[in-house]
A and B are shown apart, each in its own frame.
Chain A
Amino acid sequence: MPNIVDFPLIIRLIPTLLAYLPMTLFITFFSMIFGVLIGLIIALIKLNQIRILSPMATVFVSFIRGTPLLVQLYLSFYGIPVMLRYINYFYDTDYNVNNIPSMLFVLIAFSFNEAAYNSETIRAALQSVNKGQIEAAQSLGMTYRQVLQRIIIPEAFIVALPNFGNTLIGLLKGTSLAFVCSVVEMTARGKILAGFHYRYFEVYISLALIYWALTIIIEQLIKMAEKRLTIPDNDQIPNYRRGKLL
């Protein structure tokens, strides 16, 4: 039988590809963190209808949702050097445009993309928090910031968690586009290997298996987190989460 598909290669490629998993996870993790933080800020700006910033946030979210991620990566890759050149020109500074780490373009593009999508999730979650609890916290003499940190965000987080799980999976898969900013993560590494072995199909099968497994792991982790954070209805477990604060 001719060697149409090199099955053993599929297996052998996996460890080689996994060597670049940390890079994939690094991009995913930090983009998610910044994406949630910036998304929270956007959500708060919109909820509090802060002048000037609120319409800006609306335009930003609409723009991100209305353009492909690939295009956003290119915009970051080519746009940030352009911005630096302008800064050098107007402020008479001397930043080296060729010296920007590629990772920065990637993180900026992914973080803002995440932020735009997360901001809607976060806004809905913040709004879902029962008004009575907020009033109870205020009536104790808590400041808006304290109410937000101690009452609203913890509760909104649980509401938003399933959505965060979905965006996290989307992001993980999205990192495969990072090569356009010349960052080598798993998929980019796979492309190189494919060219080297002349075995394109095998490489992409390996990649597909890895991403699939990662997605299943993330799904399970989110499910576990949800289960852990949801307070059970029955009172058979009174010592549940006991001592968490004490």
Chain B
Amino acid sequence: MISVRNLTLYFNQHCILNNLSFDIQKNEIIAIIGASGAGKSSLLRCLNLLEKPQQGRIRIGNQEIDLAHVKRNEIVQFRQQSAMVFQQFNLFQQKNALENVMEGLVVVKKYSPQQAKAIALEKLVEVGLSGRVYHYPKQLSGGQQQRVAIARALAMNPKVLLFDEPTSALDPELVGEVLMSIQQAAKAGNTMILVSHEMQFVYEIATRVLFLDQGQIIEDGTPEQVFHCPVHPRTKVFLSRYFATLSSDYQI
């Protein structure tokens, strides 16, 4: 379904992603964890071609591109294979919730406004926003905005959904509603790649966890394997630090 080969990304001589190769099957829920600066966002953005890696091949569905020689119309096509949910929501500020979800359907998929509206409404209902359809982003809470963003991604019916820390910018009390929408999307059989620091959620939802460290995947297994018996010492350090901060939170 997705196959990545020798993906290499540099930012001004700095190697951010180092020769990554992996495959993802249909319906897998992949969680990518790792320290800040490990390259998680960069990896997602490469799959969506928001970054242009210097080298490697990516296949999603039956479209394959050679990153060293991609053409502009190939990029635009390839981006339609995936849909991204950003940490900062990135809704279109001049459009209401409905228009945000319709935009890609009308402009990219060339659906008629009626068709697009029907699909958009259906997706907004799915994320529990039937009562907020005509609200503009700045009239919505962060959690609601992120759910609109999820509806916008779902509406495009992509081969894979990409989530880049979808709850990191949210107030704690709004995290739950967004996680619920993500879980729902997972249950509906979507293939997903999720970057998140919500370890409990990752543990419950992911079918497979990748640990990214300095631009390399150093751990790849089921949540049980990665969380309970990590192979690599750096994974152990990361997890123990993470759970240490968690338990100190609990002491308060």
Contacts and interface: CB of A to CB of B under 8 A. Distances in A.
Contacts of A245: 95, 99, 102, 113
Given A135-B90, A245-B99, A238 B138 contact: no
A150 B107 contact: yes
Contact of A238 (B76, B107, B139): B139
A154 B94 contact: yes
Contact of A132 (B79, B88, B134): B88
Given A146-B107, A150-B103, A233-B139, A240 B94 contact: no
Contacts of A138: 50, 79
A141 interface: yes
A151 interface: yes
Given A231-B138, A233-B139, A238-B135, A140 B93 contact: no
Which of A141, A234, A241, A246 is the most central at the interface, judged by chain B CB atoms within 10 Å of its CB?
A141
Interface string B102-115: 11100110000100
Interface of B: 48, 50, 76-77, 79-80, 82-84, 86, 88-96, 98-99, 102-104, 107-108, 113, 117, 132, 134-136, 138-140, 149, 152, 156
Interface in A127-163: 130, 132-133, 135-143, 146, 150-151, 154-155, 158
Given A135-B50, A235-B135, A142 B94 contact: no
Contacts of A246: 98, 113, 117
A242 interface: yes
Interface of A: 130, 132-133, 135-143, 146, 150-151, 154-155, 158, 231-235, 238-242, 244-246
B52 to A, nearest CB: 12
Nearest to A140: B104
A88 B151 CA distance: 62
